[in-house]
Structure 1
Amino acid sequence: MRKLWDKKGKKRAAAAVCLLAAGLAGGTLAYLTDFDQKINTFTIGKVDISLDEPSWEEPDDGVWKQPGDTTVKDPVVTALDGDSYMRVKVEILDGTGEKITDPVRLEKIKFLLRYDSEGSALQEGKAYSGEEIKELPMVNPAFRADLNAAGADGGTLYFNFTGDDGIFSKGETAAIFNRIAVPKDFDNEDLAVLGGDSYTTDGLGNILVTEKGNGFQLKLTAQAVQSENVSDQDAAWSLLDAEQTKRMDRQN
């Protein structure tokens, strides 16, 4: 039996927010789970940041989730020392850590992520339709999607912190998103696509899963470069792109 939001390890880490969707009892239920956290931050210059989940209560056992469930999930970046230009990289991977490339599946995964600024539009424990969920933005409006960042594509997303003045100041915090909302009107095909299942349909239109998928995970990495002696945001993103490219080259 799998656990939901089961976590070990340190709080001060970038959440490898992992969601697995699978059909149970004929594909009528979905479940979500979380892998162990990993530290995923990198900085350039004299600056220190962290990426935590302050709402995490570390229960002994997970809680089952299904369509219609709404969960608080709030990866928060904190500027521990120094002022910086900051961004968050979100990688959408399958349950084994491989990159997901199916555009339909990617869009369904992104649909679950929402930012509720007041904390009352999507309340934990209440069910919402897809129409209600999509009224909220995917991420905090203080972040702006960067389609031109190094390696950015449908499954690797970058969100630049813009805030009031573009500077992520010492002591400042920012949540990239804060809700996982599974639409109550998700059907069996939605769940199969979400989980990466292989499936066919019978003559009545019922979904028949032929091979279970391995779910998906969201890997978050906060990146920052000191703002001192960096001319503007564009220069900062270029520096982070260069560092990101070097790290990717070392991994290959």
Structure 2
Amino acid sequence: MKKKITAIFLCVALVAIAVVGASLAYFTDTKSATNTFTMGDVKIKLDETNVTEPTGDRVTSNAYDVYPGAVVTKDPIVHNVGKNAAYIRATVNVSNWMNLVAACYPDFKETFPNDGYKAALNLLVGELGEGWSVVGVEAGDVFTIGQFDAKFILKYDGTLAAGADTTAMFQTVTIPAGLDNASAASFDEVKVVAQAIQADGFDTWEAAFTAFDAK
């Protein structure tokens, strides 16, 4: 079966702060042709190894022929191609993942008694790269095939300097060995989204992305 696992890149940063009383005004610019959103001069690029030509240029999406138990290369890296240091956040969105965890990993709660749903990402991608951690997870509210997607929220420690790259978020994706035809149709995408906001003006990653989410 052919599964499409895509990497989408998103860039948002503060371009200006207009102080009027106690209010802040954020200005944005959208470049839909390249799926890049910019806000000021914080710009990022997200890419991964081309699985059909591993020694060639990195790409923003891959399509895989997979089977139960397959391990495929997926190593998303964020590049700061702007002029300002930035805080970095990413989301890993997995279709029907929490449902598949329940079906394919019956010992999940015993194996990860204190980590909750955050640890469910490790079943898919193994260890995260240095500097990356899961700080939240949002999941669907209906426990049925196709309606229990998961969005894992990842934090990259510290700030990413202009011209610098993050470590790879992870290196591989492992297809559940217990995946059957009935559930395979709903497990069709792993989508990675990277977000950035300028570091100037924020003391912490948390404060920066509170402002990001409020824009």
So what's the TM-score if we normalise by structure 1? 0.51
One-letter amino acid matched to 1:113 = L
Structure 1 contact 55–74 (Cα < 8 Å) conserved: no
Q: Which residue is equivalent to 2:213?
A: 241
For the 8 Å contact 2:8–2:191, the answer to whether it is kept is: no
Aligned to 1:215: 187
In structure 2, the residue matched to 1:3 is none
**Distance of aligned partners of 1:159 and 1:71 in 2 relative to their CA distance in 1, 3 Å threshold:** same
Name which of 154, 162, 170 aligns with 1:170: 162
Matched, 1:34 2:35: no
Cα 1:32–1:236 shift into 2, 3 Å = same
Aligned-partner SS, 2:180: helix
- Measured after TM superposition, the shift of residue 76 of structure 1 is 1.3
1:43 aligns with 12
Return the letter of the residue paired with 1:238. Answer: T
Partner of 1:216, secondary structure, is coil
In structure 2, C-alpha distance between the alignment counterparts of 1:167 and 1:66, rounded to whole Å: 38
Change beyond 3 A, Cα 1:83–1:194:
farther
Unaligned runs of 5+ in 2: 15-40, 55-62, 105-119, 140-149
CA distance in structure 2 between the aligned counterparts of 1:69 and 1:44, rounded to whole angstroms: 38
**C-alpha RMSD of the superposition:** 2.9
Task: Give the corresponding residue for 1:65.
Answer: 66
Deviations 1:181-206 (A, max 9, x none): 236xx24xx334641xxxxxxxxxxx
Residue 105 of structure 1 aligns to a residue whose secondary structure is helix
Matched, 1:113 2:114: no
Q: Name the aligned partner's letter for residue 92 of structure 2.
A: V
Aligned CA distance change for structure 1 residues 229 and 41 (closer, same or farther; 3 Å)? same
Q: Helix, strand or coil: the match of 1:153?
A: strand
Deviations 1:1-41 (A, max 9, x none): xxxxxxxxxxxxxxxxxxxxxxxxxxxxxx34226x57431
Question: Match for residue 142 of structure 1?
Answer: 131
Query: 2:80: which partner in 1?
Result: 79
Residue type of the alignment partner of 1:159: L
Listed as ranges, the matches of 1:153-192 within 5 Å are 153-154=138-139, 155-162=150-157, 166-173=158-165, 174-182=167-175, 186-187=177-178, 190-192=179-181
Give the counterpart letter for 2:94 in structure 1. I
Query: 1:51 is matched by which residue type in structure 2?
Result: L
Q: What is the match of residue 10 of structure 1?
A: none
Alpha-carbon distance change, 53 to 63 in structure 1, aligned in 2, over 3 angstroms: closer
Q: Is the 8 A contact 2:7 2:193 kept in 1?
A: no
Structure 2 counterparts to residues 83-94 of structure 1, below 5 A: 83-93=85-95
- Which residue of 154, 176, 199 corresponds with 1:227? 199
Q: 1 CA distance for matches of 2:156 and 2:122? A: 21
Structure 1: distance between partners of 2:70 and 2:100: 19
Letter in 1 for 2:77: V
What residue ranges of structure 1 are gaps of 5+ in the alignment?
1-30, 94-99, 115-135, 196-212, 244-252
Q: Given that residues 94 and 187 in structure 2 are in contact (C-alpha distance below 8 angstroms), is that contact kept between their aligned partners in structure 1?
A: no
Change (3 A) 1:78 1:86: same
Question: Residue deviations 1:201-247, cap 9 Å, x none?
Answer: xxxxxxxxxxxx3432122211011101222222112122224xxxx
Assess, with a 3 A threshold, how the Cα gap between structure 1 residues 106 and 175 changes in structure 2: closer, same or farther: same
Letter of the 2:159 partner, please give it.
I
Q: Percent identity?
A: 22
